[in-house]
Amino acid sequence: MSSANGQSGAATEAGAASRLTTWHQELFSAVGRWQWLEALNDGVSGVVQPLYDRHRDNLAVELMHGGRWAGHALHPALSDLPIGLWSGTVVLDLLGKDVRSGNGGMDPAATLSAAGLLAAAATVATGVTDWTVSDGADRRIGLFHGVLNLAGVALQGASLAARLTGHRGPARVLSLTGFGVTAAAGYVGGHLVQGRAAMVNRVAGFSGPNRWVRAVSDTDLPDDTPTGVEVEGRKVLLHRRDGQLYALDDTCSHAGGLLSRGDVSGCVVTCPLHGSRFDLRDGQIVRGPAHHPQPVLPTRVRNGWIEVRGSQPRSRRAKPKEERHGMESDS
Ligand code: FES
């Protein structure tokens, strides 16, 4: 009996310990099943997406993504501002230093609160812009992140209104609650980037193959037709134009769309997912939302085969003398 009790106690402890490490997985899998979020996603997409599509070629829209100039998404960087400013409000409230010392003007906590609201406007604008180029589960989780953030902004707005009308007690409660909601939204945003790799460079770790590898027979590659091949597990876009061969990673650096399914005009390929454009000659971004260029792979034609190799140099690890003697150059 006591042994059975001991076992069930150990199982309960193990279950509790396991819940400590799995609650976030369960949370995000539940988010994916929420019907109300799906319905909201459809409604918001119906309004925002046509607007984005109409203006997607506008440079200001690309700049809101961060674009080629920043090399990163702007939204995560901007989000530090309201969080930092509202942290200051909470600290002033907790220390009782939220009262104006002189005459006129806003008290310090209200000043930080108002500055946080201004910064939140820019953060929301860039967040919505990034959200329009997300798909599937990322889009639903992104919307949940946005809903929490808007709730946080509303609470901060109410807190500021309470401060300006002299209701310090409610202002402090609203500010602290708003900060908690914003922190939860930040956690969800962190999951999007770190858990789901949203807005990160999808080709950052690609390097191989570290030798020349046959990709496709020369006669099987049509002219002026983007063609996807796979060499040693790496997806490669091949394109031949005016007798010149081009090879880029087929996986779009933005969110993993396949460039070989996109259109090529001149030397520019357009990603079919969200419209990023890359120059086939050097992989550079012609138009975002991508922030990172596409790696270029060297090509050659040998014995009727188009061969490619990775863009990283082969390891220079020292070889035993007799092995080095018998090595052939592969270029
Ligand atoms: S996957 Fe988004 S632009 Fe290519």
Same domain, 124 and 36: yes
| 94, two tokens | 């907790």
Q: Among the atoms of ligand 1, which is closest to the Cα of residue 289? A: 3
**C-alpha to C-alpha distance for 176 and 152, rounded to whole angstroms:** 10
pLDDT number for residue 92: 93
Q: Among the atoms of ligand 1, which is closest to the Cα of residue 256? A: 1
**Domain residues for 74?**
11-195
Q: Among the atoms of ligand 1, which is closest to the Cα of residue 290? A: 3
31-82 pLDDT, tens digit per residue, is 989 999 999 999 999 999 999 999 988 999 999 999 888 888 999 999 999 9
CB 273 within 8 A of CB 250: no
Same domain, 167 and 104: yes
**How many C-beta atoms surround the C-beta of residue 308 within 10 A?**
23
Element at 227 (helix H, strand E)? strand 227-231
* pLDDT more than 90, % of the chain: 74
Same domain, 142 and 64: yes
300 within domain boundaries: yes
CB 156 within 8 A of CB 148: no
183-219 pLDDT, tens digit per residue, is 999 999 999 999 999 989 999 988 889 899 999 999 9
For the chain, helix (H) and strand (E) counts, in that order, are 9, 10
CA of 74 to the centre of ligand 1 (A): 17
Pocket probe mutation, ligand 1, options 268, 271, 287, max atoms within 8 Å of Cβ: 271
33 within domain boundaries: yes
330 within domain boundaries: no
- pTM for the whole structure: 0.84
CA of 302 to the centre of ligand 1 (A): 33
Same domain, 154 and 27: yes
Same domain, 127 and 245: no
Q: Which residues form ligand 1's pocket by a CB distance below 6 Å? A: 133, 252, 254-257, 271, 273-276, 289-290
Q: Among the atoms of ligand 1, which is closest to the Cα of residue 202? A: 1
**Number of folded domains in the chain?**
2
Write the DSSP symbol of residue 83.
H
Same domain, 178 and 252: no
71 within domain boundaries: yes
Write the DSSP symbol of residue 246.
E
CA of 255 to the centre of ligand 1 (A): 5
CA of 1 to the centre of ligand 1 (A): 61
Same domain, 29 and 178: yes
- Domain end position, chosen among 195, 227, 247: 195
Same domain, 221 and 191: no
Burial class (CB in 10 A: 0-12, 13-18, 19+), 216: middle
- Domain end position, chosen among 138, 164, 195: 195
CA of 218 to the centre of ligand 1 (A): 29
**C-alpha to C-alpha distance for 78 and 129, rounded to whole angstroms:** 13
**C-alpha to C-alpha distance for 84 and 73, rounded to whole angstroms:** 19
109 within domain boundaries: yes
Same domain, 189 and 132: yes
Q: Among the atoms of ligand 1, which is closest to the Cα of residue 133? A: 2
254 within domain boundaries: yes
Same domain, 239 and 156: no
Same domain, 166 and 225: no
pLDDT number for residue 141: 95
227-267 pLDDT, tens digit per residue, is 999 999 999 999 999 999 999 999 999 999 999 999 999 99
4 within domain boundaries: no
163 within domain boundaries: yes
Q: Taking the CA atoms of the chain, what radius of gyration do you get in angstroms? A: 27
pLDDT number for residue 222: 93
CA of 201 to the centre of ligand 1 (A): 11
The CATH number covering residue 224 comes to: 2.102.10.10
CA of 199 to the centre of ligand 1 (A): 10
Residue nearest to atom 2 of ligand 1 (CA): 274
Same domain, 234 and 180: no
**C-alpha to C-alpha distance for 271 and 285, rounded to whole angstroms:** 11
